[in-house]
Chain A
Amino acid sequence: MKGAYDIITIGGSAGSLSVLTGLLDALPDNMSMPVVIVLHRLRNVESEMGRLLSATKDIREPEDKEPVKDHHFYLAPQNYHLMIEADKTFMLDYSELVNYSRPAIDMTFSSVADVYGNRALCILLSGANKDGAEGLCEVIAAGGTGIVQDPHTAAFEVMPQSAIDLCRDVKVLTIEEIIKFIIFET
């Protein structure tokens, strides 16, 4: 039987790397839906972020027009905004920085809200700017679920706190609670 969500999207910035690593390690390898991760990263520096995030999970950086597949973990590539088109393919965008960032979490969340509606689960972790807050509101307004890391447990509280201030009905959970939510409610 299909669960409650067709996609999980996770956004984070400063201070999110270690919690994200822990979160990914705790998830089963074979998720029933795609998991898409958007992190603020340096733009023209070669990096092995996918491998840094998880030793066990195969995390790929999608190419433009690649289909979004269940059971796969994806990471937004450097220096592009990552969006999802109506036909469930990735679309990369090389337009202006949004919230000083490219990739911007808002851009991804917003497209996920458009395409997945109430079948979207979006999670916002620690970070030092407000990117992701508006997008999370759009996800919730479209009937999806928005979760933020409890600011008290976040290394940088601005990002989750901005979403709490801006959106109604956002769930505030600790990392352990987020893991439980993903495992038992998706």
Chain B
Amino acid sequence: MKEDISAVDFLDIINIVKLQYGYDFTGYVQASLKRRILRFMSRANISTVFDLKHRLVNDSELFTRMVQYITVNVTEMFRDPRFYRTLREEVLPKLAAYPNIKIWHAGCSTGEEVFSMAILLQEAGLLSRTKLYASDLNPMNLERAATGIIPLDNMKDYTYNYIQSGGLADFSNYYTARYDNVLIKKELRKHINFFQHNLVTDTVFNEFQLICCRNVFIYFNRELQNHVLQLFHDSLSPRGYLAMGIRESMRFADIHKQYETVHGQEKIYRRK
């Protein structure tokens, strides 16, 4: 028999987390969040929802572990190579017109996408005048991202992705391999500022020419999608770019009229 969390219990959990720890998951898609809470319970040997609630109220360390489990921390370098090719060919040449470039990676997880962006900028000769802001709600992801360390096992796939994205350099120039890990070169990382930002509860903090928020909207319901799209709208300079995941769509959000489509297939939009 499959365990389940009733609608009432689910709301209770959301409320405890919100009131006690300030993380608001109200607008998250329920099916996947429930699934991940159940997965956390089984991993933490918590057998009933009652126990989970009780422990969440009394044990902040348990909450820290739960955040790690219920947020999705999967990422890849140069995921969807064609998207990066489009950035290279169509977006970066436009950004080159700005004397100083500011880019925000919202929901950066452990940093793989922002490292990829730094490589693109380097190859376009733009990195030295770009500031990259990379945020996530999960502090453990940010700690990891700031180290610049990536498991060596992944590099074969990433090298393949990099080449597919139109990369012409030797990919291994961008990192140093040591034992089972690689370290992304400091020259790339020094342009990146990692910091905690929660798209649900935090507000505008700067103005950007490009915001990348890929595969984050899939976890938000429509109301929250609209809220975040408004936040991005307010954070973009006029005619600034927004990139979403290639299977995410703005057409189901009310706010889509405030954006124009630059590249429909790769989900690159522009603030009107």
Candidates A79, A94, A138, A141; contact of B218 at CB < 8 Å: A94
Please name all residues of chain B whose beta carbon is closer than 8 Å to the beta carbon of A66 when the two chains form the complex: 249, 252
Our count of residue pairs bridging A and B at CB distance below 8 angstroms stands at 65
The answer to whether A92 touches B31, judged by C-beta atoms less than 8 angstroms apart, is: no
Decide yes or no whether A64 CB sits under 8 A from chain B.
yes
Beta-carbon contacts under 8 Å, B187-225 to A: 215, 217-219, 222
Q: Is B240 close to A, CB under 8 A?
A: no
* Residue B80 is within 8 A (CB to CB) of chain A in the complex: yes
A93 touches B218 (CB 8 A): yes
A77 nearest in chain B by CB position: B247
Contacts known (A86-B31, A114-B31); A94 close to B252, Cβ less than 8 A: no
Bound-complex Cα distance A94 to B216 (A): 9
Contact of B247 among A83, A86, A92, A111 (CB under 8 A): A92
In the complex, A85→B2 CA distance in Å? 18
Answer whether residue A80 sits at the interface, using C-beta atoms and an 8 A cutoff: yes
**By the criterion CB–CB under 8 Å, are A44 and B160 in contact?**
yes
Q: How many Å lie between the Cα of A94 and that of B2 in the bound state?
A: 23
A65 beta carbon closer than 8 Å to chain B:
yes
- Determine whether the beta carbon of A94 is less than 8 Å from that of B215: yes
Chain A residues touching B, range: 20 to 34
| A185 CB–B CB distance under 8 Å | no
A96 within 8 A of B: yes
Interface size class of B (residues with CB under 8 A): 20 to 34
Give the shortest distance, in Å, between B264 (CB) and chain A (any CB): 11
Residues of B within 8 A of A58 (CB): none
B81 at the interface (CB under 8 A from A): yes
Assuming the contacts A44-B79, A85-B31, A93-B218, asked whether A63 and B160 have C-beta atoms less than 8 A apart, the reply is: no
Q: Are A44 and B161 in contact (CB under 8 A)?
A: yes
B157:A64 contact, CB within 8 angstroms? no
Known: A44-B80, A64-B218. A93 touches B72 (CB 8 A): yes
The 5 closest A-B pairs by CB, nearest first: A63-B249, A94-B215, A65-B252, A95-B72, A64-B218
Chain A residues proximal to chain B, CB less than 8 Å: 43-44, 46, 61-66, 77, 79-80, 83, 85-86, 91-96, 111, 114, 138, 141
Interchain Cβ contacts under 8 Å between A and B, 21 examples: A43-B157, A44-B80, A44-B81, A62-B247, A65-B222, A66-B249, A66-B252, A79-B80, A80-B247, A83-B31, A83-B32, A85-B30, A85-B31, A86-B30, A91-B31, A92-B247, A92-B248, A93-B219, A94-B72, A95-B36, A141-B2
